[in-house]
């Protein structure tokens, strides 16, 4: 059955996906890449054209806008991010639409060996008859999170044109650099001005998430002793060898992403850079509980100290820094936005799913900074890789959910006053 928003959502995602807006963790600028302005400037223009108010590109490179309220109610915020993940190629995206998916294997025109199979991806098997969007096999699609962008723009356009829903003020924000953990600064709660908010950055239809990892970053620097290899006996200290010892000493069988799931945390080596004289190891530390996260940091420091002790002529330093915290720590004290979304989801005939996010969202940091912000589904699947895909009909469900949430927020205010 076709939804009233299907075609608009398809058109928007296809149009946004071809715009390269990948972020870059190594860049110190905000946003980390200038190409993100191609999305930010476009969205600023489109919001103005559809009649949104207070449209602004903030000093933190966030596009914010207002949909004026038509009834008393709390100010509800919605966020999506414009950057795509740096883990895989995102240049030259060629989106394609598969109308009325027939339930078989999906192949990719630019990589004949790549196959997306419903036998391996059970959620795909449920989407027979849906309209699916994928890329061509050599790039990301970028549904993470241009699906969220498409959903929010569709919602905004509908609310500004139609008066069918009574709602309070709505604030929309499109952030850069979410994929590298820099999309939300301490200024955003003030710029957003919402009583509570939702990120549109989830996956399976029905997901309403209020728990994420807590996250730290670790950077280990190793200074060896450099000398000509022909004269190196008893003098050289090879930093690359010490780096290898550190990586090998970390618990690989029990505490890496590839061997953990559910509520298990991990230590993940993301980068090894340098040579025999100097090396740098970058790691990310993840767990749902702070004591376990702190224990991970202690373990990394202990490994560094142990390797340092084997070679006192080297210099090994380890710096651990804060990234984001589990939004559950704050949301469990006031579940109002979560309960609103769950009630709206059930009224649509979808049983809400609340599982811990093995990652983080802009909502993790926004909640930490004072604006409660759970995460809602978009439908995106197989993110951060060439088999990324999404159902247009799932995106339509997410759009309807957002509309229902703002209506219920206003209704709850009216009921409390009555």
Residues 178-200 pLDDT 10s: 999 899 999 999 999 999 999 99
Which band of pLDDT confidence, cut at 50, 70 and 90, is reported for residue 2?
confident
Q: Please check the confidence at residue 418 and state whether its pLDDT lies above 90.
A: no
141-153 pLDDT, tens digit per residue, is 999 999 999 999 9
Average pLDDT over residues 80-98: 97
pTM to 2 decimal places: 0.92
Catalytic annotation on 83? yes
For residue range 197-220, list pLDDT tens digits in order. Answer: 999 999 999 999 999 999 999 999
Q: Which of 148, 242, 134 is nearest to 198 (CA)?
A: 148
Instruction: Extract the tokens encoding 165.
Output: 């829903």
Mean pLDDT on 157-163: 94
333/110 Cα distance (integer angstroms): 49
* Strands, E assignment, 48-190: 53-57, 63-67, 76-81, 96-98, 106-108, 111-116, 132-134, 170-175
User: How high is the pLDDT of residue 9?
Assistant: 98
> Which of 6, 46, 83, 201 is labelled catalytic?
83
Residue 135 makes CB contacts below 8 A (sequence gap 6+) with: 17, 93, 94, 95, 96, 108, 141, 142, 386, 388
Taking residues 125-134, what's their average pLDDT?
A: 98
- pLDDT digits 0-9 by tens, 261-300: 999 999 999 999 999 999 999 999 999 999 999 999 999 9
CA 267 to chain centre: 19
Residue 282: exposure state from Cβ atoms within 10 A (0-12, 13-18, ≥19): middle
Taken in order of first residue, the domains within the chain and their CATH numbers are 6-212+326-417 (3.40.630.10), 214-324 (3.30.70.360)
Average pLDDT over residues 242-260: 95
What pLDDT, on the 0 to 100 scale, is given for residue 412?
79
Distances (CA, A) of 243 to 248, 279, 322: 9, 7, 23
For residue 302, what pLDDT band results from cuts at 50, 70 and 90? Answer: very high
Identify the active-site residue in 46, 145, 177, 178: 178
SS3 per residue for 14-63: HHHHCCCCECCCCCCCCCCCCCHHHHHHHHHHHHHHCCCEEEEECCCCCE
Quote the CA–CA distance of 6 and 373 in Å, as a whole number: 26
Mean pLDDT of the chain: 96
Read off the pLDDT of residues 371-417 as tens digits, 9 standing for 90 and up: 999 999 999 999 999 999 999 999 999 999 999 999 999 997 655 44
- pLDDT score recorded for residue 417: 46
Whether 25 has a pLDDT exceeding 80, the answer reads yes
> How far is it, in rounded angstroms, from Cα 40 to Cα 56?
10
Is it true that the peptide bond before 145 is cis, omega within 30 degrees of 0? yes
């Amino acid at each position: 059955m076709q939804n009233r928003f299907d075609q608009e959502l398809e058109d928007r995602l296809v149009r946004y996906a071809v715009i390269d807006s990948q972020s870059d963790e190594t860049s110190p600028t905000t946003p980390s890449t200038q190409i993100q302005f191609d999305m930010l400037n476009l969205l600023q223009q489109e919001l103005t054209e559809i009649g949104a108010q207070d449209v602004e590109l903030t000093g933190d490179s966030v596009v914010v806008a207002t949909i004026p309220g038509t009834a008393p109610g709390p100010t509800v915020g919605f966020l999506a991010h414009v950057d795509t993940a740096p883990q895989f190629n995102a240049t030259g995206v060629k989106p394609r639409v598969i109308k009325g998916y027939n339930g078989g294997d999906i192949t990719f025109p630019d990589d004949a060996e790549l196959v997306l199979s419903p036998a391996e991806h059970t959620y795909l098997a449920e989407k027979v008859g849906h309209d699916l969007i994928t890329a061509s096999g050599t790039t990301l699609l970028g549904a993470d999170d241009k699906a969220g962008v498409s959903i929010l723009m569709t919602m905004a356009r509908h609310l500004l044109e139609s008066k069918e829903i009574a709602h309070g003020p709505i604030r929309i924000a499109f952030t850069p650099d979410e994929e590298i953990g820099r999309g939300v600064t301490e200024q955003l709660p003030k710029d957003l001005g919402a009583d509570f908010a939702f990120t549109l950055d989830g996956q399976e239809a029905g997901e309403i998430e209020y728990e994420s990892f807590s996250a730290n970053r670790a950077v280990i620097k190793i200074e060896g002793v450099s000398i000509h290899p022909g004269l190196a006996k008893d003098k050289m200290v090879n930093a690359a060898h010490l780096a290898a010892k550190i990586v090998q000493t970390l618990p690989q069988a029990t505490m890496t992403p590839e061997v953990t799931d559910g509520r298990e945390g991990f230590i993940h080596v993301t980068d090894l850079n340098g040579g025999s004289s100097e090396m740098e190891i970058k790691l990310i530390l993840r767990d749902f509980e702070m004591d376990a996260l702190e224990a991970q940091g202690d373990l990394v420091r202990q490994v560094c100290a142990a390797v340092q002790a084997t070679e006192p002529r080297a210099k090994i330093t380890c710096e651990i820094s804060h990234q984001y915290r589990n939004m559950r720590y704050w949301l469990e004290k006031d579940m109002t936005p979560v309960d609103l979304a769950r009630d709206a989801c059930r009224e649509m005939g979808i049983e809400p799913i609340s599982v811990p996010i093995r990652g983080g969202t802009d909502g993790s940091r926004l909640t930490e900074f004072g604006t409660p912000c759970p995460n809602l589904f978009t439908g995106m699947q197989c993110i951060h890789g060439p088999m990324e895909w999404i159902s247009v009909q799932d995106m339509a469900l997410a759009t309807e959910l957002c509309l229902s949430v703002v209506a219920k927020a206003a209704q709850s205010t009216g009921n409390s006053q009555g």
